[in-house]
Amino acid sequence: MKSVVAKNIAIKITTEVGSYLGSAQLNVCTKAEAAKKGLLWLAACWGGALCAVPIPLVHFVAVPIGVLAGPIVGYVIFRMHHHATDLSALVGNCPSCQKSLLLGTRAANWPVPFQCPACQAHGTVTIASDGPRL
C-alpha cells in the first residue's frame, strides 16, 4: 500500500513581468500514513509517561499529562497529515529571467509563493487553467 500518492499537475508560474506554464508533482498523504504518524506521537506521549513513573513527585503530574495528551496529540497529528499535500519536482522557467526554477518541496497552499534564486523576483505558482483540478 502506498503511503503517499503522487499526481503530476500543470502549473502556471507568474511574476509581475508575465507567466510561464510548467509542471509539478503533487504528493498527497494517505490515511494510512497519517494514522501511522498519529500513532507514533501517541506512543511517544505514553512512552514519556511510562518513563516518568519511577521519578518521585514528577510522576504525579507527568504520568496523567502524558496519558491524557497521547490520544489528543495523536488525533491532532492525524488530522494535520490526513490529505496534506506537498508540491515537489517543479519544472518551469522564471518569467522574469527565463532561467530554470528549482523549488524545494513545500506545502501546496494555493497560490504557492516563491522567489527566483537567480533574479530575486517574487511570484506565485498556481494550477494552470487547462490542467487538472484538485
Report yes or no on 112 lying in a domain: yes
Q: Higher pLDDT residue, 100 or 134?
A: 100
Residues spanned by the domain of 62: 31-81
36 and 49 in a common domain: yes
**Rounded distance, CA 94 to CA 86, Å?**
20
Question: What tens digit of pLDDT does each residue of 50-85 get?
Answer: 999 999 999 999 999 999 999 999 999 999 988 888
Within-domain flag for 133: no
Domain count, the chain: 2
pLDDT at 117 over 50: yes
- Is the domain of 42 the same as that of 72? yes
Assigned domain for 54 exists:
yes
* CA of residue 14 relative to chain centroid, distance: 22
Q: Are residue 41 and residue 51 in the same domain, yes or no?
A: yes
Predicted local distance difference test score (pLDDT) of residue 40: 97
Shared-domain flag, residues 37 and 25: no
Model confidence, pTM = 0.66
The answer on 121 and 88 residing in a single domain is yes
Q: What is the mean pLDDT of residues 122-126?
A: 89
pLDDT on residue 2:
61
pLDDT at 133: 46
- Nearest Cα residue to 29 out of 78, 68, 92, 67: 78
Q: How many CA atoms lie within 13 A of 59 on its CB side?
A: 8
Q: For residues 105 and 95, which has the higher predicted lDDT (pLDDT)?
A: 95
pLDDT surpasses 70 at 131: no
The pLDDT score that the predictor gives to residue 134 is 44
- Three-class DSSP category at 117: coil
Q: Are both 25 and 91 inside the same structural domain? A: yes
Q: Are residues 67 and 88 in the same domain?
A: no
H helical segments located in the chain: 31-52, 59-81
Q: Is the pLDDT of residue 130 over 70?
A: no
Residues 17-58: pLDDT tens digits?
888 888 888 888 889 999 999 999 999 999 999 999 999 999
